[in-house]
Structures are given as C-alpha cells and as structure tokens.
Chains A and B, each alone.
Chain A
C-alpha cells in the first residue's frame, strides 16, 4: 500500500515529491495536469454554487454584488483556462504519445515547463482573492470597465498577467503537440490512420498556437494601459473600446473550439470501442473537425451582434456562423452512424459519451438560434446564452472529459473505476445538469439578463431559479460520488489489465499502467484502429488510409530496434516557471497608479529583475543539461 509505505519510510516520501517535481514523463505530467485541473474545476464549481445560492430567491443579500461579480468573473476564467483546457491537456499528455506509438512527447522538458507555468498562472490568478479582490469585470473583461477609472483595484492586473502566463503555458504545450503528432508517429501511421483523438488534438494545438498570441497582445495592451497610463482602450483619450472586444473574441471564438474539440475526439474514440464498430465516416469526421477549426476564425463577431456593427457586418457574421453548423452536424450524424448496427455496451465511459451527444445536440441547436442575429438581439446577454454555453461546455466538454476519465483511468492507473458508482455518478450528473441548465433557457427568454447579482421578485423568474439551484446541488452530489469512486478505485479498484474494453487503438496494446518507456518495441502500423487490427487479423480489412494502399516508406524500416532513450528528469523547467511567476507578481505591482498619476514601484521592479534573472539562469541550466539519459 503506497500510503503505508510512505508512513514507514519518510525519506521515500520526499523522494516521491522530488520525482514529481522533476518529472518529464508525459504520463506523470498528464496526471499532474489532471489532478490540478480537477481541483480548479472544484473551485470553479464552488464559485458557481455560491452564485446559485444568491440567486436561489429574488432580492437576497447573501452575497454582496461586488463579491458576486468576482465570483462569476472567476468562475468563467477558472472553468475555461484552469479546468477544461488543462483537463484536455491531461488527456493530450496521457494519451497522445501512447496512441501514436511514441515513447514521449517531442519536448519532454518543455512539457514540464508548460505544466509548471500553468500552475503558476492558476495560483497567481487565485491569490488575487486574498490580495485586494479578484477580477470583477467578467471573464471577457470588456473595456472600459477594466480601466483604472472604473476598476482601481488589482483584480484586473492579476487576471491579465496570469492569463499571459497561462498563454505561455498553452502555447508551449500546443507547439509541443503539433511537433509530437507531426513527427513522432509510429512507422506506418499516416495522417489518415491517426485516431480521431489525435486529429482533434492536432487541430486544437494549431488553434492554441494561433489564437493565444491574439489575446496576449490584448492583455499586454490592457496591462500597459493600467500600469503606465497608455491609451489603447482609453475612451477619454479617443480610443474605441470595441477594439478590445474584437481582439478578445478573435481569440475567444477559436477558444470555444479549443474547449470542445478534445471532447469530440474523446467521444470519437469511445463510441467505436463500445459499439464494437469502426468510426463511421472517419474522413468526414476528421475533415469536419479541421473545418470547424478553420471556420472558428471567421465567426468571432457573433459575440458582438448588439454592439452596433451595422447590418453588413451582422449579415456576414450571421452567415458564417450558421455555416459552422454543417461540420458540427456531420460529426453528430457520423456518431449516430457509428452506433447504428453496432453492439453497444453501456459502461460508464460510454454513458458519458452518449450523454455528451444527446446534450451537445441541444447546445448546438441553441447555438444556431444565437447565430440568427436579429432574434439574438433578444437573447444576447440573457440566461438563454448561459444555458447554451453550459450545454456546450458542460453537456459537451465536461461530459466528454468524464467519459475520457472513465475510459482511460484504467490505462493510467491499472485499475478500473467502479462501474456501479460510475453509473450513479452519470445519472446524477445527467439529471442535475438538465435541472440546472434547462430552466436557464426559460428565464432567459422571459427576460432575465445574465451577470445579475440579484433580481426583482415580480419578474416570473423565481420558480426556475430555485429549480436551477436545486440542480446545482444535485451536481455537487454527483461530484462527491465521483470523488469517492476515484479515491476508492485508485486504491481498491479491480485490476484492469492491458485492454479492459476490447479497444481499438495502440495505447491498449501495452500494460496498464504503461511502463516508463511506453513501448518495448515501437509498433508497426498497417491501418486505422491499429490495435484492433492486431487482435483481429482475419476480420474485414481496415482501409489502409495511405495513398493507393501503398506502404509509406517509413513502414519498410520497421521500428523499435534502436536503443531506448528516455529523457532525464529535470528541475530546470520548474525553476523557469517559478522565475516567471515571480516576475509576474512584479508586473502586477510595477507602478503605484491612479488615473493620470503613475510612479514606479521599486518593489515590483525588483521582483521582475529577480524573476527574469532566475528564469534566465534556469533556462541556461536547462540548455546545458543533456536531454536524454543513458541507453537502456
């Protein structure tokens, strides 16, 4: 028993801590991402519960307006940047190298750096609660409400600087996975033989690498406005505050697909396994994923239909937005095609996956209703939108992520998550989710604006707000069941074996949990569903996916006979992140400021100098340290 062993050998405990701090193993980093992001998910959920308590009845004063505004601002920021994105990153880390038959990601130490920088950003953002108050201007942080005049506290600075840090982490991770997927696939795994989850990760990684620079530019401008009195968004100096909205949503809409495509990839893995059929219309699913990624860049101003862009722009963005429903629909139809004629087994992972589809259909259709901009003028900034985003991001992303947790937990730990508790968890989640978010459609269409700390009693919203709060507590109960299941199964769960689901992709070909080097010999891939093909060599041939079915040159070389190089553990990435974190705090406090009066804060400057120096020295140490260990 691990804990008992630790109790007997205190030294072993510190060895383990050191091992986690210096790890560059993609599986351990994936676990770190997963556990950290889940803690942030619980934090964001707690923030939501406080909001639901305040809105349970009209005209309550349980949570004062200023606190309420911080709660919803931080709930959005936390769920998007600290929960869903890193939970997806956890799956990228755990699964991608295994699915493509690689021993690690392309840049293992950069991977560790991504995690530690993410952690630094997450901690920094949340320390704002104790250092004068968190962001209170919404996760979208519209100018000029974020300007010094209306927002003298440091909450906005904490938000801006920590989001820059999170952007650095995400961009590094995105680059890492682009390079990994492009370069490190096992011989024979052509692009059209890649599992769909790998494809969606590739699309998302490109989106991250291209979208985050946009928000980073906006954040730097905002930080300069606030710290040094620049005038990027200063209305009194003649700036147009709509510039912020464009920059934010040019990033923000690809971000939506960054949040949903990984879940779509997860579901595309789970359905074929439990239906015992290959994915229906692989090429259509892959291409619709790519086109969603590309079209995601052309629709940003549908978040701005009511800013007065004029009929030409509104028409343009209405048309591009409804067009994006086509590839989304294609995915759903192909998933149904995958189930059709299958032999479907309802393990918990599969329940969450089909729950995802059922709920995502609703979220997608309400999204289509928003695309129709004239009637959206009645829906914009109401609870109808809140309902929509939660059907997409909770009914979509979160259910997909839970599906992935149940599916890959045995691969990561060697033990199965309990099925009985899992099913209770699923049904509580499914019911609680609908009880919480379906009524938000109703109150929204009946005129309830979002981001309200309170509401009048005579508006006809009382009943459904009460119901929503009850639903939120059902969701809390479902999470408690999950946590209990997680800890119980982690210690006492049934042994999983290498391939508990009779699955189709390469990660199931190796033991659970996988050895440090993943594959003893790098597998040779001959088609899609590479592992299924190994198990069923006499079944109907899987389409090769390569041009004319010819072997890729790499296939002839075979693989795995070279010696195994595993990367060295390294504390340098952690130290670089610590340096960046210190410098980040310095940036937050770089000046004493009031509108029109700025003076340098020497403490802040000192922190920047110390942090940057520390990071630079650590980067040099990173550079000098040999990447790979001795041969095994």
Chain B
C-alpha cells in the first residue's frame, strides 16, 4: 500500500518477538539449580533433554515466524484517516491448503524422534549391570528397599554410577510421583499398580528428588535425595546398611535410646535393626545418622534439626502421622537432646 512505511511494523514485530525470546533464552534456563532439567546427569534425562531442545527449537521457529507476521500485520495495516474500504477478500484456497499441510509436515517430523525416545525411555534396557530398587511412597516420605542386597532405608536412594537402576514404584496410600529431574522424568506411584522405571546416573553426586503428584497436606514437604556413588562408595554404603545399629557411645545417646525404646514410644512405629524397635509404620531409622537430610529431605541432618523435628513434627510438616503421636511439649529439652544424640549416633 502506498504511504505506509514498513520500518515501524518491522521494528515492532522484531521488538515484540525479541523481548520474549531474550526473556526466555536468557532467564529460562538455570542448570546449576538442584532440580533443573537442563543439567542431565544420566541417559534418561539426557534423551528427554535432547528431545526437549528439538521440540523447543521447532516451537520457537514457529513462534518467531508466526508472531513476526502477526505483529507486522498489526502495525502495517493499522487504520489511517482516509483509508478506503479494504478489498473484501474471503480467502485464498491454495494458501489455506498450504498452511494446513505445512504444520502437518512439521508435526510429522517432530513425531519421529518423539516416538523413538518414548520407546527407549519406557522399555528397560537389555544391556549393562542392573540394580533393582523398590521405592515405596507414604504420606509424606519414601521407603527404599534393595531386595537383592537385603537393605531397607528411607528418604535417600543410593545407586552406583554407571549402573541401570530398575526402580519398582509402589504406594501405600494415595498416588505419588517419583521424580529426580537430573536423572529423568517422573513416573507415578499408584497404589495397587506396579510401575517400573529405569534411571542411571553417570557421575557421582547428590541429586534432588521430590513428589510430583499432589498427595495431600504434606505434598510440598515430600522430598528426597538420590545419591549416585562411585562403585567403591556404593559397596561401602551397602556394607554399612547391612549392619545392625551400633550401641550408643555417649551418655546422652544412651539416655536417648532409653526414651526411644521406652517413654517416647518411638519403637512402636520405627525400626532400628539390632534393637527391640521393630515398628513397621514410619521410616527405618537403623542408619539415620548416616543420612544427609531428615523428615523426607526437608532439613539437613544436624543435631539441632533432629531435636527440632522430634519436638514438633506437626509444626514442621502439618498433617503427618508422627504429629498425631508426639505433640509439642511432650519431651523436655534434655530428652530432646538425648533423642537427637541417639539418632545422630546411628551412623
């Protein structure tokens, strides 16, 4: 059209698209954060990330082309005084057929790597060393069993680097979802259904995991750690986990053990192998002192945090079962100190 500059529409279109692209590309990706999907530390996460980039760039190119055309049209065809009535065009058959077919072709191209990765992720690899792990979800903590090793632990999953971990997922109550972003996408843990997923960690490290399916009041506080060990560290850890709990070595810890087994009634719910504590309800505490975190990944495993948790579980994780048994003020600060010392000593 005469008299219509193209500079403004082009500038506006590039500006609009540019702001979004800059924003997304500059801030969207923080691989150094603990649950970022952008730092894949294993083959499953890597396949998913590569596929993500593939579809991301396909979508971004479509975004650029369509929004550029759109914003250009918005500015270029804005009304000026004295504009005549525009031509009353109703369509253009070849054009319309073309932009029906073009996306279909793009989508068909996207579908190929998608289906390929889909089958690789959802079928267990035939090769390589395997380790079987049972992950059992409870409101709101995690139980990890290693049937082939005879180990039972909680809230921290150790796996050796370079080994395929075949993880059987179960739930004891509602639906949860097992997710360690840096190792792979999530799979739901459904009561009465046995889902199996596989993961592998390439390098030793501590990876954050979290329940991803809404599971009730404590959902946000249902976290865990996946620890990928070197082969040697994993063997050491395995050997340690097979041991029964050690006897307390300090006076405070011994006093704590007596409360644990007696007045505190902790043993009714928790198991400490090698002692009289055989409660099947809560997390196995045989080697809690060797864990990085407590209360399903919500606090570092320190003496003070243990005492704080035992003093007021309801305050720290509302709705949890322990809070119905232990109410604030049940234990004196000496007793809390003893209990924390005892648990801390269970290396």
Interface residues of A (CB under 8 A from B): 64-66, 69, 136-138, 142, 144-145, 149-150, 235, 238-242, 275-284, 306-308, 310-311, 314-315, 318-319, 322-323, 325-326, 329-330, 332-334, 336-337, 339-346, 354, 357-358, 361-362, 365-366, 368-369, 372-378, 380-382, 438-439, 441-442, 445-456, 458-461, 464, 536, 539-540, 542-543
Beyond A358-B70, A446-B33, A449-B210, is A65–B319 a contact (Cβ under 8 Å)?
A: yes
Are A374 and B47 in contact (CB-based, < 8 A)? yes
Closest to B32 in A: A460
Are A284 and B185 in contact (CB-based, < 8 A)? no
A374 and B95 alpha carbons, distance in the complex (Å): 34
What A residues does B115 contact at CB under 8 A? 315, 318-319
What A residues does B38 contact at CB under 8 A? 445-446
The smallest beta-carbon distance between A445 and chain B, in angstroms, is 6
Are B86 and A276 in contact (CB-based, < 8 A)? yes
22 contacts between A and B (CB under 8 A): A64-B318, A69-B219, A239-B192, A280-B92, A306-B188, A311-B118, A315-B118, A319-B115, A325-B103, A326-B107, A329-B99, A333-B96, A341-B77, A354-B70, A358-B67, A365-B63, A378-B37, A380-B212, A382-B212, A442-B27, A445-B38, A450-B214
Write out, one digit per residue, whether chain B residues 94-130 have a CB within 8 A of any chain A CB (1) or not (0): 0110011001100100110011011101110000000
What A residues does B52 contact at CB under 8 A? 369, 372, 375, 378
Beyond A380-B212, A456-B298, is A281–B107 a contact (Cβ under 8 Å)?
A: no
What A residues does B51 contact at CB under 8 A? 372, 374-375
What B residues does A543 contact at CB under 8 A? 90
What A residues does B169 contact at CB under 8 A? 308
Write out, one digit per residue, whether chain B residues 63-86 have a CB within 8 A of any chain A CB (1) or not (0): 100110111011001111001111
Are B188 and A307 in contact (CB-based, < 8 A)? yes
Are B23 and A318 in contact (CB-based, < 8 A)? no
Beyond A276-B85, A318-B111, A458-B34, is A438–B190 a contact (Cβ under 8 Å)?
A: no
A325 and B51 alpha carbons, distance in the complex (Å): 18
Write out, one digit per residue, whether chain B residues 7-30 have a CB within 8 A of any chain A CB (1) or not (0): 000000000100010011001111
Are A326 and B104 in contact (CB-based, < 8 A)? yes
Secondary structure of the B contact surface, majority rule: mixed
The smallest beta-carbon distance between A47 and chain B, in angstroms, is 16
Interface centre among A65, A333, A375 (most CB of B within 10 A): A375
Are A365 and B62 in contact (CB-based, < 8 A)? yes
A280 contact from B55, B89, B173, Cβ within 8 A = B89
8 A Cβ contacts from B294-313 to A: 298
A460 and B173 alpha carbons, distance in the complex (Å): 31
Write out, one digit per residue, whether chain B residues 185-200 have a CB within 8 A of any chain A CB (1) or not (0): 1111011110100000
What B residues does A333 contact at CB under 8 A? 66, 96, 99
Are B96 and A345 in contact (CB-based, < 8 A)? no
Instruction: Check if B5 is an interface residue, CB within 8 A of chain A.
Output: no
The 8 closest A-B pairs by CB, nearest first: A447-B35, A377-B185, A460-B33, A308-B195, A452-B220, A375-B52, A365-B59, A451-B214
Are A369 and B55 in contact (CB-based, < 8 A)? yes
Beyond A145-B214, A306-B188, A438-B23, is A372–B55 a contact (Cβ under 8 Å)?
A: yes
Are B107 and A280 in contact (CB-based, < 8 A)? no
A468 and B101 alpha carbons, distance in the complex (Å): 38
What B residues does A242 contact at CB under 8 A? 190, 193
What A residues does B77 contact at CB under 8 A? 275, 339-344
A455 contact from B45, B179, B214, B220, Cβ within 8 A = B220
What A residues does B187 contact at CB under 8 A? 306, 308, 377
Apart from A323-B104, A325-B107, A336-B66, what 6 extra A-B contacts exist at CB < 8 Å? A326-B107, A336-B69, A374-B51, A375-B52, A446-B37, A450-B214
Interface centre among B123, B192, B319 (most CB of A within 10 A): B192
Are A284 and B100 in contact (CB-based, < 8 A)? yes
Beyond A242-B193, A342-B86, A378-B48, is A337–B91 a contact (Cβ under 8 Å)?
A: yes
Are A374 and B34 in contact (CB-based, < 8 A)? no
A69 and B104 alpha carbons, distance in the complex (Å): 40
Closest to B37 in A: A378
Are B217 and A66 in contact (CB-based, < 8 A)? yes
A461 and B32 alpha carbons, distance in the complex (Å): 12
The smallest beta-carbon distance between A364 and chain B, in angstroms, is 9
A339 and B79 alpha carbons, distance in the complex (Å): 11
What A residues does B160 contact at CB under 8 A? none
A330 contact from B100, B111, B119, B184, Cβ within 8 A = B100
